[in-house]
């Protein structure tokens, strides 16, 4: 009885109780909205789900900054995807030694063997193209 009397004396306590009751009532609806938004995010995919729409590695392999080209070549090698093969072969004739080295290492990682041990430049490019075509990784 003293709680009812306290509520009558102090109107703030009454507002707090009403507020807590409101939250208890809304809680299931909030959980449903949370689950629905998570499902929608995964279903929609793309940028909403945090996945990238495009692949920037191929763009970065053509960057004007040699450090970016070298890093992109390294990333391409770790992804070990054939889609980078042509760009990596092109980087074997790059002006920057670090880019050539990274491109060579990436191609070795993708193919699983070194087609041109220690080779760089046009001759290495021709040999890598032959190897990649023979494996069906290059048209």
Q: Is the pTM of this model over 0.95?
A: no
> Residue 68's pLDDT is what?
94
Which residue's structure tokens are 């499902």? 39
Q: What is the pLDDT of residues 26-81, one digit of tens each?
A: 888 888 888 888 887 777 765 554 555 567 898 899 999 999 999 999 999 998 77
Residue 2 has pLDDT above 70, yes or no: no
Burial 61-81 (b: 16+ CB within 10 A, else e): beeeebeebbbbbbbbbeeee
> Residue 56's pLDDT is what?
86
Domains of the chain: 2-44 (no CATH), 57-134 (1.25.10)
């Amino acid at each position: 009885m003293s709680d009812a009397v306290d509520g009558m004396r102090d109107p703030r306590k009454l507002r707090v109780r009403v507020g807590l009751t409101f939250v208890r009532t809304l809680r299931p609806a909030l959980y449903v909205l949370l689950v629905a938004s998570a499902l929608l995010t995964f279903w929609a995919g793309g940028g909403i789900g945090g996945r990238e729409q495009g692949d920037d590695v191929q763009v970065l392999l053509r960057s004007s900054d040699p450090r970016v080209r070298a890093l992109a070549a390294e990333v391409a090698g770790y992804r070990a995807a054939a889609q980078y093969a042509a760009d990596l072969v092109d980087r074997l004739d790059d002006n920057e030694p670090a880019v050539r080295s990274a491109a060579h290492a990436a191609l070795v990682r993708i193919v699983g063997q070194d087609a041109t041990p220690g080779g760089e430049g046009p001759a290495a490019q021709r040999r890598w193209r032959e190897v990649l075509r023979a494996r069906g990784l290059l048209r």
